[in-house]
Amino acid sequence: MKKLIVSILVFAASFQLSAQSKTGTIDTDFVLSKMPELTKVQEDLKAYNGKLEADLKVKVDEYQAKVKDYQEKVASFTEPMKKTKQEEIINLENDIAKFRQNGSQLVQLEQNKLLQPLYEKIGKALEEIAKAEKYTQVFTITTSGLAYIDPQYDLTKKVMAKLGIKSEEGK
């Protein structure tokens, strides 16, 4: 009899706890795509990418000049000079290869750095709405993998409104 009463109390308590939770969703990528600040981030990222490309061009030009100089003067070099010049060229080749390899990682790091304040802004607005409307959980639509979500709990539009972003029909 005690087990039955305990079971009923546990069931009632769990039912009561689940009734108190409120779950919502947000599409942070959609909000981010509509933020006016994203244009500046994209421009800054494009400028950074251009700077990297310019740096690479300088390295490639230096490499090509050294190779051309080596080819033109190789007959007049002593063996130690040839070896030194060849090592310089090999070092430049390695430097260029490493720079190309790290380029995409550098761009990704810069993108993360530039987007971080925007994600923080979205997070702050979401936190204010979630606290004000007593949400206990909010999932991101893009990474949650949820099969069904009642649209009335999607906070995307409310966060956009709080950030002063107008939305088109369809979202």
Separation CA 64–CA 66 (nearest Å): 5
Tell me the sheet residues that pair with 23.
137
Structure tokens at 87: 């090592």
Residues 82-111 have pLDDT tens digits of 899 999 999 999 999 999 989 889 999 999
Instruction: Give pLDDT, residue 21.
Output: 79
Confidence label for 62 from pLDDT (cuts 50, 70 and 90):
very high
Checking if the pLDDT of 119 tops 60, the result is yes
The pLDDT of 119-148, averaged and rounded, is 81
Domain chopping of the chain, boundaries: 20-162
Q: What is the mean pLDDT of the chain?
A: 84
Q: Which tens digit of pLDDT belongs to each residue from 150-159? A: 677 788 889 9
Higher pLDDT, 66 or 17: 66
What value does the mean pLDDT take over residues 7-24? 58
Q: Judge whether residue 39 has pLDDT over 90.
A: yes
20-162: CATH topology is Protein Binding, DinI Protein; Chain A (3.30.910)
Cβ-defined contacts of 99-104 (< 8 Å, 24+): 99/55, 99/56, 99/59, 100/56, 103/52, 103/56
pLDDT of residue 142: 79
